[in-house]
């Protein structure tokens, strides 16, 4: 459709290493509704998991915002690209954000 953005509202905001399952899982947030989802098997089965509970708790504590911890010395062009593009944002999270272990 002309004039409409076809960008996905979902953005990866946190990576987790799980002690229960082998793997790294991503929690994504819908930038329009603030719903969260996870790539772990528990979320796929139940629609909720400890990873999304962790993120939801932090968002509740921060009035709906999820703070990411990335270094301040990242080049400005990378940050600007990440703001504009969900794939670039995901790459920024993977490369620079702290991975949580639950």
Cα–Cα distance measured from residue 62 to residue 19, given in angstroms and rounded to the nearest whole number: 26
- pLDDT score at 2: 41
- pLDDT score at 1: 35
**CB–CB of 59/66 below 8 Å?**
yes
- pLDDT score at 6: 47
Closest CA to 30 of 6, 5, 8: 8
- pLDDT score at 35: 95
Q: Going residue by residue through the chain (102 aa), what tens digit of pLDDT does each one get?
A: 343 344 568 999 999 998 777 899 999 999 999 999 999 999 999 999 999 999 999 999 999 899 888 888 998 899 899 998 999 999 999 999 999 998
**CB–CB of 91/15 below 8 Å?**
no
């Amino acid at each position: 459709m002309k004039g409409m953005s076809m960008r996905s509202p979902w953005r990866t905001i946190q990576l987790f290493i799980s002690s229960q399952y082998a793997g790294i899982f991503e929690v994504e947030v819908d930038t329009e509704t603030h719903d969260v989802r996870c790539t772990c098997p528990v979320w796929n089965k139940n629609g909720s998991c400890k990873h999304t509970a962790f993120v939801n708790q932090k968002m509740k504590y921060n009035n709906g915002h999820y703070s990411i911890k990335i270094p301040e010395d990242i080049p400005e062009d990378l940050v600007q690209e990440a703001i504009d593009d969900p794939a670039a944002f995901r790459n920024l999270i993977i490369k620079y954000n702290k991975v949580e272990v639950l």
